[in-house]
Structure 1
Amino acid sequence: MGVLSNKIQRDDLKAGDHIYSWRNAYIYAHHGIYMGGNKVIHFTRGAGQEVGTGTVLDHVLFSSSPSPLDSPCQICGDQTMLNGVISSCIDCFLSGGDLYLFQYGVSPAFFIAKARGGTCTLAASDPPDDVLHRATYLLQNGFGVYHIFKNNCEDFAIYCKTGLLVVTSISVGRSGQAASFVAAATAVVSSPLRFLTTSFPGLTVVACGLYCISRLVADIGIRRDVAKVPVERLVAGSCIDESVTGAGMESTRED
């Protein structure tokens, strides 16, 4: 593994690893937590469920539930219509895709070099026992309603690994994939710096710089509006379905 690829072999997996697999020609990756014993806990959108953006993106981009098979999996059964936090065998999770390992505690330089979001974070991972406890608890109690930008499968896996959640009312972009989409839109459309140059190379440099900065400042490992939220409090307080206010939560960032 390295800057070019996070691909990993199944034999190298450890319980508590955050894994992912690309979907729909690398448009989007589906994320989960490897539990050991060929099992993965992950957060899905049920086929045909309007639980994403509520726009045409739901139909054009992706569904993160397992792809339909010719016959139901002998281990998992038919999971195509399931919605929420589920447990699957690794074959159903991958749906025919390759296996990748999400990286934690990377340096800012490495993070920027991995131009595609949703592959790594500056945040450090907690011990595997904590990761497995969160994933198992959420399998039993849920992780709220799936939303492409605000509460997706990568958010679920990152929370299981770190216990961190954004505690401001604006939570768009807390996952790497969402941050990449927002950063790309910002770089192309919204920046006044694009008027500083009219040459194509100049515009490219400005856009790339804005894209990298936007991704970096949105990463949950560097932003200051996050808190460590125990999974029991997360579920009891319904912090996912409603905007997290941070009341009664101890911030992990020092002033």
Structure 2
Amino acid sequence: MGLLSNKIGRDDLTPGDHIYSWRNAYIYAHHGIYAGEGKVIHFTRGAGQEIGTGTALDCILFSSSRSPLDTPCPRCGDQSRLDGVICSCLDCFLFGGDLYLFQYAVSPAFFLAKARGGTCTLAASDLPADVLHRASYLLQNGFGVYHIFKNNCEDFAIYCKTSLLVITSISVGRSGQAASFLAAASAIISSPLRFLTTSFTGLTAVGCGMYCVSRFVSDIGIRRDVAKVYVERLVSRSGIDVPEAAT
């Protein structure tokens, strides 16, 4: 594992690791917390769908996303109708994909070099025991309503690792994937610097620069609209409460 790839082997896993696997030809990744003994705790939108908008657009954008298995897993049973935080075996979590390890406390240079969002963060991870406690608690009590930009599987895993929650209602969540998508859109559409050049090279340079800056300032380890929140203070099932920060 290094700059080019976060891919790891199963023998390298330790309880409390934040892992992910790419879906839909690398369009997005599904994230979870490795709980040990071949089990993964992760957050899904429901009916076997790990991502989506909840609208008809899902049929176009995510036509090859996860679908229920014809034969239920002998270890997990039929989980196709479950939603929210669930526990699956590693094989069900990976769903035929490769295994990758999300990296924490990376340097700014390393973060920017990993241009694809959803693979690392500048934020530091808490101790494995704390990570597993949060994941297990949320498995029993829920993590609110799934939202592709504000409360998705990566947000769940990052919260378990850091206990950081966004404390404003106008921002996207902690997800690097969502931040990258919005950064790309901002670089293409919103940057006033695009009017300073008409050459393809110049536009590309401006777009890449805006993309990198937007990703960097949106990272959970940099942004200021976050606070540590005890897992016991989260409201189950009806969304996530953002009460007093942990001390």
Q: TM-score range by the shorter chain?
A: over 0.9
Change (3 A) 1:33 1:129: same
1:135 and 1:64 mapped to 2: Cα distance?
28
Structure-to-structure mapping, 1:69-148, within 5 angstroms:
69-148=69-148
- Deviation, structure 1 residue 69: 2.5
The 8 Å contact of residues 166 and 173 in structure 2, kept in 1 or not, is answered as no
Deviations 1:160-181 (A, max 9, x none): 0000011111131521000011
SS at the partner of 1:68?
coil
Map Cα deviations across residues 119-151 of structure 1 (whole Å, 9 max, x no partner). Answer: 000000000000000000000000001111110
Contact 1:22 1:97 (C-alpha < 8 Å) held by counterparts: yes
Question: Is 1:209–2:209 an aligned residue pair?
Answer: yes
* 1:73-93 deviations in Å (ceiling 9; x for gaps): 000011122110000000000
**Unmatched tracts of structure 1, length 5 or more:** none
Q: Is the alpha carbon distance of 1:145 and 1:79 closer, same or farther for their aligned partners in structure 2, counting shifts above 3 Å?
A: same
Q: Report the alpha carbon displacement of residue 46 of structure 1 after superposing the two structures with TM.
A: 1.5
C-alpha separation between the residues in 2 aligned to 1:237 and 1:21?
26
Preserved CA contact (<8 Å) 1:30 1:64 = no
Instruction: Choose 169-178 or 202-211, whichever is displaced more.
Output: 169-178
Match of 2:162 in 1: 162
- SS state at 2:91 partner: helix
- Asked if the contact 2:143/2:239 (under 8 Å) is kept, the reply is no
Identity %: 80
Please tell me whether residue 228 in structure 1 is matched to residue 228 in structure 2: yes
Tell me the SS of whatever aligns to 1:29: strand
Change (3 A) 1:112 1:137: same
The CA distance in 1 between the partners of 2:39 and 2:2, in whole Å, is 25
Distance 1:40 1:64, change over 3 A: farther
2:63 and 2:86 map into 1 onto residues whose CA distance is 15
Provide the C-alpha distance between the structure 2 equivalents of 1:73 and 1:91, rounded to a whole number of angstroms.
9
Q: CA deviation at 1:42?
A: 0.1
In structure 2, relative to structure 1, the CA distance for the partners of 1:169 and 1:102 (3 Å cut) is: same
Report the secondary structure of 2:75's partner residue. Answer: coil
Q: Deviations over 1:192-218 (max 9, x none)?
A: 110000000000000000000000000
What is the distance in 1 between the residues matched to 2:65 and 2:157?
15
Q: What do you get for the CA RMSD once the two structures are aligned? A: 2.1
Amino acid at match of 2:174: R
Aligned length: 246
Query: Which stretches in structure 2 are left out of the alignment for 5+ residues?
Result: none
Question: Counterpart of 2:234 in 1: which secondary structure?
Answer: helix
CA distance in 2, matches of 1:55, 1:127: 38
> Equivalents in 2 of 1:36, 1:88: separation in Å?
11
SS of the residue corresponding to residue 91 of structure 1 reads: helix
Paired residues of 1:66 and 1:79 also in contact (CA < 8 A): no
Q: TM-score, normalised by structure 1?
A: 0.90
> Does structure 1 conserve the Cα–Cα contact (< 8 Å) formed by 2:15 and 2:34?
yes
For the residues of structure 2 that align with 1:178 and 1:115, how far apart are their CA atoms? 13
Separation of aligned partners in 1, 2:15 and 2:69: 27
